[in-house]
């Protein structure tokens, strides 16, 4: 490189910020926005982009890009796992000092979650710090969450940016979102605009469909595990109870899903289930968004089933074959309730919405509508056809015709009266 070329290169580099997409982030979004500094420099930027999958808006350390520009055997042969790990470490990944803790968001049995900021990107992040016991090691929920999320790249699934492992803790670095669906409901006075209900429900189904296509069951859907940002993007979070269903099995636990969103077959002891376990929870959440109140707020399994049967009718052999031989069902000895009309309980839902809700709230898992079919239901017809063909990593709000409506009753809680940021409870299941 001549002196003039080097001078031009240094000048361009001094005023340039490299934007390369997240560490575990979707590759289709990896775009290098660095202006051209010659064919070789552009190639190196694109190679780093492709090979290392770095976080968005990253600020590479001084001299890092130049090192690869001048001497880059890294890209002349397949990149080994060890070399990739070393390269990421040099940039700052996997290091606690790369992130600054700001506020404590929540605490569970094994984990504490902090709001933080990345020194690499200057963006807000959520730091889920999982304490490691000397003899027990990492909780199985953390291992599941990491193993699943690192392979799930979707616009409606929370992004895992980084993993930091020390002797005392395992820290998962997530993208930060402003609030969860429960808080959104509270801020709206429990009355969400019905157009926004439709957009949130579609995004929930879209994220679930992506998971289900990959045989991943979330198993803990509830408003607290659905995160929402200012743009209205809804993302599935907390995969601590999730499982990958690669082959048929009858050995799954029935100690899953928060009680209010747990389907009746699981409440009655079934361990033989598939993706339909999540669809009952979708129905409960759909109802809650539409009415502002939980559908089946039971405090025990028996009370939960009582609420379900009082609305949908006590099941019989005709409505649920085999139910009369279920020992737990027999032991509860429920009154013979007749099914009530869902229209009477959901005055803000139109006929299409009530029909979709009914298809989600089926006693038997095999009768519940699947996520992909639900996305194509008439209820979403007004959103247009293009929303069904978007790439997995593209937000629905990339479409000009899709916009969030202003919530008339929305109160802002981003700042308290003292000017301090209001803390948000990050989703954590009981095991984390």
CATH number at residue 220: 1.10.510.10
Q: Is the dihedral of CA 348, 354, 356, 357 positive or negative?
A: positive
Confidence band of 123 (pLDDT split at 50, 70, 90):
confident
Instruction: Say if residue 345 is in the same domain as residue 253.
Output: yes
Domain end (from 125, 146, 175): 175
Instruction: Say if residue 106 is in the same domain as residue 202.
Output: no
Instruction: Say if residue 123 is in the same domain as residue 236.
Output: no
* Environment class of 194 (CB within 10 Å of its CB; exposed 0-12, middle 13-18, buried 19+): middle
Instruction: Say if residue 226 is in the same domain as residue 136.
Output: no
In tens, the pLDDT along 348-391 reads: 999 999 999 999 999 999 999 999 999 999 999 999 999 999 99
Q: Is residue 425 part of a domain?
A: no
More confident residue, 93 or 170: 170
Instruction: Say if residue 242 is in the same domain as residue 307.
Output: yes
In tens, the pLDDT along 124-144 reads: 999 999 888 755 666 777 777
333 Cα distance to chain centroid: 39
Residue 120 pLDDT greater than 60, yes or no: yes
Q: Which two tokens stand for residue 152?
A: 């799930």
Instruction: Say if residue 62 is in the same domain as residue 144.
Output: no
Q: Is residue 86 part of a domain?
A: no
Mean pLDDT calculated for residue range 329-347:
95
Confidence band of 339 (pLDDT split at 50, 70, 90):
very high
Query: In the predicted model, what is the mean pLDDT of the chain?
Result: 80
Tell me which of 109-113, 134-138, 168-172 is least confident. Answer: 134-138
**Residues 34 and 16: beta-carbon distance below 8 Å:** yes
Instruction: Say if residue 202 is in the same domain as residue 295.
Output: yes
In 3D space, the residue among 72, 73, 60 whose CA is nearest the CA of residue 13 turns out to be 60
Instruction: Say if residue 262 is in the same domain as residue 340.
Output: yes
CATH number at residue 170: 3.30.200.20
Half-sphere exposure of 365 (CA within 13 A, CB side): 17
Q: Is residue 132 part of a domain?
A: yes
Residue 68 pLDDT greater than 60, yes or no: no
Q: What is the rounded distance in angstroms from the CA atom of residue 270 to the CA atom of residue 276? A: 13
Answer yes or no: 220 catalytic. yes
Tell me which of 231-240, 345-354, 412-421 is least confident. Answer: 412-421
Q: Give Cβ neighbours of residue 408 (< 8 Å, ≥ 6 apart).
A: 193
Instruction: Say if residue 206 is in the same domain as residue 241.
Output: yes
What confidence score (pLDDT) does residue 337 get?
A: 96
Instruction: Tell me which residue range forms the domain holding 38.
Output: 17-76
As for how many domains the chain has, the answer is 3
Q: Is residue 232 part of a domain?
A: yes
Instruction: Say if residue 26 is in the same domain as residue 101.
Output: no
Q: Is residue 345 part of a domain?
A: yes
More confident residue, 160 or 349: 349
Q: Is residue 287 part of a domain?
A: yes
What confidence score (pLDDT) does residue 254 get?
A: 47
Residue 43 pLDDT greater than 80, yes or no: no
What confidence score (pLDDT) does residue 240 get?
A: 73
Confidence band of 96 (pLDDT split at 50, 70, 90):
confident
Q: What is the rounded distance in angstroms from the CA atom of residue 182 to the CA atom of residue 95? A: 33
More confident residue, 7 or 337: 337
Q: What is the rounded distance in angstroms from the CA atom of residue 411 to the CA atom of residue 109? A: 32
What confidence score (pLDDT) does residue 27 get?
A: 35
What confidence score (pLDDT) does residue 63 get?
A: 57
Q: What is the rounded distance in angstroms from the CA atom of residue 162 to the CA atom of residue 144? A: 15
Domain end (from 142, 175, 208): 175
Set 180, 220, 265, 278: catalytic member: 220
Which residues participate in the annotated binding site? 128
In tens, the pLDDT along 285-325 reads: 999 999 999 999 999 999 999 999 999 999 999 999 999 99
What confidence score (pLDDT) does residue 20 get?
A: 32
Which residues participate in the annotated binding site for ATP? 128
Confidence band of 4 (pLDDT split at 50, 70, 90):
low
Instruction: Say if residue 168 is in the same domain as residue 304.
Output: no
Instruction: Say if residue 135 is in the same domain as residue 224.
Output: no
What confidence score (pLDDT) does residue 29 get?
A: 38
**What are the beta bridge partners of residue 415?**
421
Residue 423 pLDDT greater than 60, yes or no: no
Residue 393 pLDDT greater than 90, yes or no: yes
Q: Is residue 420 part of a domain?
A: no
Domain end (from 117, 152, 175): 175
Q: Which two tokens stand for residue 346?
A: 């959901």
Q: Is residue 11 part of a domain?
A: no
Confidence band of 15 (pLDDT split at 50, 70, 90):
very low
Residue 186 pLDDT greater than 70, yes or no: yes
Tell me which of 150-164, 239-253, 294-308 is least confident. Answer: 239-253
């Amino acid at each position: 490189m001549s002196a003039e070329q080097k001078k031009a290169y240094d000048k361009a580099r001094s005023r340039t910020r490299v934007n390369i997409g997240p560490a575990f982030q979707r590759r289709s979004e990896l775009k290098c926005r660095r202006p051209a500094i010659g064919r070789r420099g552009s190639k190196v930027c694109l190679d780093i982009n492709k090979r290392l999958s770095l976080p968005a808006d990253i600020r590479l350390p001084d001299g890092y890009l130049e090192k690869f520009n001048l001497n880059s055997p890294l890209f002349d042969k397949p990149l080994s796992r060890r070399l990739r790990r070393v390269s990421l470490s040099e940039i700052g990944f996997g290091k606690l000092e790369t992130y600054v803790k700001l506020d404590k968001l929540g605490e569970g049995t094994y984990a504490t979650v902090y709001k933080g900021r990345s020194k690499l990107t200057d963006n807000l992040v959520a730091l889920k710090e999982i304490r490691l016991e000397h003899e027990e090691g990492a909780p199985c929920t953390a291992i599941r969450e990491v193993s699943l999320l690192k392979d799930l790249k979707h616009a409606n699934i929370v992004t895992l940016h980084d993993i930091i492992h020390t002797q005392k803790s395992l820290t998962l670095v997530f993208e930060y979102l402003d609030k969860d669906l429960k808080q959104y409901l509270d801020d709206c006075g429990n009355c969400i605009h019905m157009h926004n209900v439709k957009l949130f429900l579609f995004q929930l189904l879209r994220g679930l469909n992506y998971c289900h296509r990959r045989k991943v069951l979330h198993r803990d859907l509830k408003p607290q595990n659905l995160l929402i940002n200012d743009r209205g993007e809804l993302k599935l979070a907390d995969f601590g109870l999730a499982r990958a269903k690669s082959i048929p099995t009858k050995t799954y636990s029935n100690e899953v899903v928060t009680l209010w969103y747990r389907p009746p077959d699981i409440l009655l002891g079934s361990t033989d289930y598939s993706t339909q376990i999540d669809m009952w929870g979708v129905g409960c959440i759909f109802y809650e968004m539409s009415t502002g109140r939980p559908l089946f707020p039971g405090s025990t399994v028996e009370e939960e089933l009582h609420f379900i049967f009082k609305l949908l009718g006590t099941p019989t052999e005709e409505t649920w074959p085999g139910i009369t031989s279920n020992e737990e069902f027999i032991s509860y000895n429920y009154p013979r309730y007749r099914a009530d009309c869902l229209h009477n309980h959901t005055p803000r839902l139109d006929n299409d919405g009530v029909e979709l809700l009914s298809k989600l709230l089926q006693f038997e898992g095999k009768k519940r509508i699947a996520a992909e079919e639900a996305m194509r239901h008439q209820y979403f017809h007004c959103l247009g056809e293009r929303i069904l063909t978007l790439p997995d990593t593209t937000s629905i709000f990339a479409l000009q015709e899709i916009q969030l409506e202003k919530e008339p009753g929305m109160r802002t809680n981003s700042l308290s009266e003292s000017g301090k940021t209001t803390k948000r409870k990050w989703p954590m299941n009981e095991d984390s």
